[in-house]
């Protein structure tokens, strides 16, 4: 972080107030425009300058001016930050863009299948259509974004729309990236979303489609891009499993978006949009057919019920209102029963809801067998007994869960208790106590997580956060912190890996291994860490053996020299 920039005023107008981080192509800051009374925020990007040679600066200046013209055109889209200005100061190049108030898509995505809700198919389709419409405009301007990832999609606070940001990596559609992109120059948050061809300098328009498809798969599965496995024979992403409920049509679309070979992928954004639209239309058509069939079946059932003297399938309701409504309809058809029988059944239902099952059954059984409602009463008694038993069983399960400290289980059992007022009032008390305990546990775990994060132990902090029940009212905060600490943990892991690489280049394999041991095993790059650990450990062992051999040779030489007769001084006797 370039903290020395904080407070600095550029062009006598834009005061830097916060660093947003560094990327491959430069540093990004939040600034305030001090020329305006309300000091509106804006984003300032400083282009990275590798050297100060005049020829290099001239080339960079030309490229900078070319790209700013592109950004002006892109900023005309409602879901892309507006371009404000660009300038050069002290041989540094800056561009200023609109600041988007909101939160990144990272906060909305499920993480590690442990926090946050998996997206529905409809949510994924709407997300794809929204972002694809932005990309369609971007590609029509002759550029590729090259860094589509959750952090670069902002949910704008004012209207809830997604905004595509950070066009610092844009490239010409015709030229692509000029050179290969080394992995150590790529931000950790971009890994997993960058397609294979981008690493070898063959970026295509559908490279952006690959990245977007990976985000959609994360939304459906809860797995981050680096957690997904690849087929060892085909290199295709293996993302669909039995735990991923998604229809075959959408699954095929997503798999086509993330094909390993860009030539086998969708070739344009318009093509993906067209296929998605066709899928939506077919789904709506099928749903209309299902509704029509259901309406026809309902009409047939209604006709069948009207022809039955006992109104086949009608049950006496559990609550008094629904019970009376049922009897009212029944009375119209049968011109019976007597008011006293209706009143008796109503009273039985009241007793049942109040918690006296035996009295409710006794009252119901007092209705004579010749009554028109008798068959329904018998069915109702049986239903009452089943539901009462179910309510008692679920209540005692919830009670045991509360006693055992399994508060989330209490909340999951509560909806299974049948709609009986007596049991609902009892389960509500357990739910209130469980919710209170969950909130207390949440505060304790949050405090522990903050403490560990303050000493950069992000793995333990994440462990504490993941213990927080999903039912906690702090859900949004927890999800935000999970995303934040997960990102910081990955950045820290990448930092240690980079330092280990530097130590190894200098031949300091002891230092390299020490840095690798600092990287937590649950980081996405740990597979790479293990490989480097094996490599550096072997080199460390060979280095130690070489040193031991050299020491042995020196020692042997010393012994030989000292054992030769000519090397001894003659003894002198002093009298």
Verify that 13 and 68 share a domain, yes or no: yes
Claim to verify: residue 67 and residue 114 sit in the same structural domain: no
- Residue 155 bridge partners (DSSP): 103, 162
Same domain, 48 and 89: yes
Residue 338 lies in a domain: yes
Q: What are the residue numbers of the active site?
A: 147
Query: Buried b vs exposed e over 434-462: b needs ≥16 C-beta within 10 Å?
Result: bbebbbebbeebbebbeebbeeebbbbbb
Binding residues for ATP: 45
Q: Is residue 325 part of a domain?
A: yes
Asked if the structure places residue 170 within a domain, the reply is: yes
User: 269-280 burial, b if ≥16 CB within 10 A, otherwise e?
Assistant: beebbebbeebe
Q: Are residues 265 and 341 in the same domain?
A: no
Indicate whether 164 belongs to any domain: yes
Same-domain status, 260 and 124: yes
- Tell me, what CATH number does 54's domain have? 3.30.200.20
What single-letter DSSP state applies at residue 258? T
pLDDT tens track, the chain, 575 positions? 455 788 899 999 999 999 887 765 678 899 999 998 888 999 998 887 767 677 777 777 777 777 788 888 999 999 999 999 989 888 888 989 999 999 999 889 987 555 668 899 999 999 999 999 999 999 998 889 888 999 999 999 999 999 999 876 555 444 333 444 444 455 666 778 889 888 888 889 999 999 999 999 999 998 888 888 888 888 899 898 766 778 888 999 999 999 999 999 999 999 999 999 988 887 776 666 555 556 555 554 554 444 333 323 323 333 333 333 333 333 333 334 444 677 787 788 888 888 999 998 998 888 888 777 788 788 888 889 999 999 999 999 999 999 999 989 999 999 999 989 899 989 999 999 999 999 999 999 999 999 999 998 988 999 999 999 888 888 888 888 888 888 888 888 888 888 888 988 888 988 889 989 988 888 888 888 888 889 888 888 887 777 666 666 666 655 655 555 555 545 444 43
Helices (H) and strands (E) in the chain, counts: 16, 13
**Crossing angle between the packed helical segments 357-365 and 374-403, to the nearest 10 degrees:** 170
What is the bridge-based pairing of β-strands 14-22 and 9-10?
antiparallel
Q: Are residues 62 and 130 in the same domain?
A: no
Q: What is the dihedral of CA 153, 157, 160, 162, to 10 degrees?
A: -20
Half-sphere exposure of 74 (CA within 13 A, CB side): 29
CB burial string 502-527: b at 16+ within 10 A, e below? ebbeeebbebbbebbeebbeebbbbe
Domain end (from 260, 280, 300)? 280
120 and 54 part of one domain: no
**Beta pairing partners, 27:** 22, 46
Residue 42 lies in a domain: yes
- Indicate whether 73 and 107 sit together in one domain: no
Domain that holds residue 227: 102-280
Contact yes or no for 197/207 (Cβ under 8 A): yes
Tokens of residue 168, six digits = 């610092």
> pTM score, two decimals?
0.52
State how many domains the chain has.
4
Residue listed under structure tokens 């491959």: 24
Asked if 401 and 506 sit in the same domain, the reply is no
List CB contacts of 263: < 8 A, sequence separation 6 or more: none
Q: Do residues 127 and 119 touch, judged by C-beta distance below 8 A? A: yes
Write the DSSP assignment of 420-481 as a string of letters. Answer: -HHHHHHHHHHHHHHHHHHHHHHHHHHHHHHHHHHTT-HHHHHHHHHTS-TTSTTHHHHHHH
Handedness of CA 134, 135, 141, 144 (dihedral sign): positive
Helix (H) or strand (E) holding 10: strand 9-10
Binding site, residues? 45
Residues 241 and 113 in one domain: yes
In a domain, 472, yes or no: no
- Is 145 in the same domain as 240? yes
In the listed set 70, 98, 126, which residue is the last one of a domain according to the structure?
98
Same domain, 193 and 333: no
Domain end call among 98, 114, 147: 98
CA dihedral of 388, 391, 396, 401, whole degrees rounded to 10: 170
Instruction: Mention every residue, 6+ apart, whose C-beta is less than 8 A from residue 337.
Output: 327, 331, 371, 372, 373
519 domain-assigned: yes
> Is residue 258, in this structure, part of any structural domain at all?
yes
């Amino acid at each position: 972080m370039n903290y020395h920039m904080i407070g600095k005023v550029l062009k006598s107008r834009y005061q830097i107030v916060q660093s947003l981080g560094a990327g491959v192509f430069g540093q990004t800051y939040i600034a305030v425009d001090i020329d305006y009374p309300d000091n509106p925020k804006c984003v300032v990007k400083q282009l990275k300058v590798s050297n100060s040679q005049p020829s290099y600066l001239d080339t960079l200046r030309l490229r900078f001016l070319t790209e700013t013209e592109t950004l002006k055109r892109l900023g005309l889209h409602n879901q892309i930050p507006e371009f404000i200005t660009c300038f050069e100061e002290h041989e540094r190049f800056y561009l200023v863009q609109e600041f988007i108030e909101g939160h990144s898509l990272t906060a909305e995505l499920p993480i590690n299948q442990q926090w946050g809700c998996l997206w529905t198919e409809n949510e994924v389709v709407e997300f794809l259509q929204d972002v694809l419409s932005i990309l369609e405009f971007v590609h029509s301007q002759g550029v590729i974004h090259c860094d589509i990832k959750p952090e670069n999609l902002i949910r704008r606070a004012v209207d809830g729309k997604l905004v595509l940001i950070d066009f610092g990596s844009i490239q010409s559609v015709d030229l692509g990236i000029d050179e290969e992109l080394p992995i150590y120059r790529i931000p950790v948050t971009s890994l997993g979303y960058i397609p294979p061809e981008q690493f070898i300098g063959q970026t295509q328009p559908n490279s952006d489609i690959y990245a977007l498809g990976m985000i959609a798969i994360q939304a459906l599965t809860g797995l981050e891009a680096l957690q997904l496995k690849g087929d060892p024979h085909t290199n295709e992403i293996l993302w669909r499993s039995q735990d991923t409920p998604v229809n075959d049509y959408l699954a095929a679309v997503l798999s086509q978006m993330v094909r390993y070979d860009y030539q086998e992928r969708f070739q344009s954004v318009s093509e993906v949009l067209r296929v998605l639209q066709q899928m939506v239309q077919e789904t709506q058509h099928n749903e209309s057919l299902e509704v029509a069939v259901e309406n026809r079946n309902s009409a047939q059932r209604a006709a069948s019920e009207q022809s039955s003297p006992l109104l086949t399938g009608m049950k006496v309701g559990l609550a008094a209102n629904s019970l009376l409504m049922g009897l009212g309809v029944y009375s119209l058809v049968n011109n019976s029963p007597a008011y006293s029988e209706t009143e008796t059944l109503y009273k039985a239902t009241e007793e049942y809801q109040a918690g006296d099952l035996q009295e409710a059954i006794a009252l119901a059984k007092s209705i004579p067998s010749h009554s028109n409602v008798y068959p329904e009463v018998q069915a109702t008694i049986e239903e009452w007994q089943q539901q009462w038993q179910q309510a008692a069983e679920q209540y005692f399960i919830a009670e045991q869960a509360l006693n055992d400290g399994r508060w989330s289980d209490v909340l999951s059992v509560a909806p299974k208790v049948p709609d009986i007022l007596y049991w609902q009032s009892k389960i509500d008390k357990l739910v209130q106590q469980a919710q209170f305990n969950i909130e207390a546990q949440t505060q304790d775990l949050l405090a522990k997580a903050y403490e560990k994060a303050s000493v950069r132990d992000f793995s333990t902090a994440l462990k504490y956060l993941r213990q927080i029940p999903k039912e906690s009212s702090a859900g949004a905060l927890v999800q935000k912190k999970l995303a934040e600490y997960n990102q910081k943990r990955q950045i820290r892991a990448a930092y240690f890996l980079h330092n280990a690489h530097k130590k190894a280049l200098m031949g300091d394999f002891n230092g390299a291994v020490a840095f690798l041991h600092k990287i937590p095993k649950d980081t996405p790059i740990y597979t790479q860490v293990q490989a480097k650990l094996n490599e550096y450990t072997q080199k460390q062992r060979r280095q130690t053996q070489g040193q031991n051999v050299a020491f042995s040779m020196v020692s042997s030489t010393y012994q030989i020299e000292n054992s030769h007769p000519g090397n001894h001084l003659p003894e002198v006797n002093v009298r």
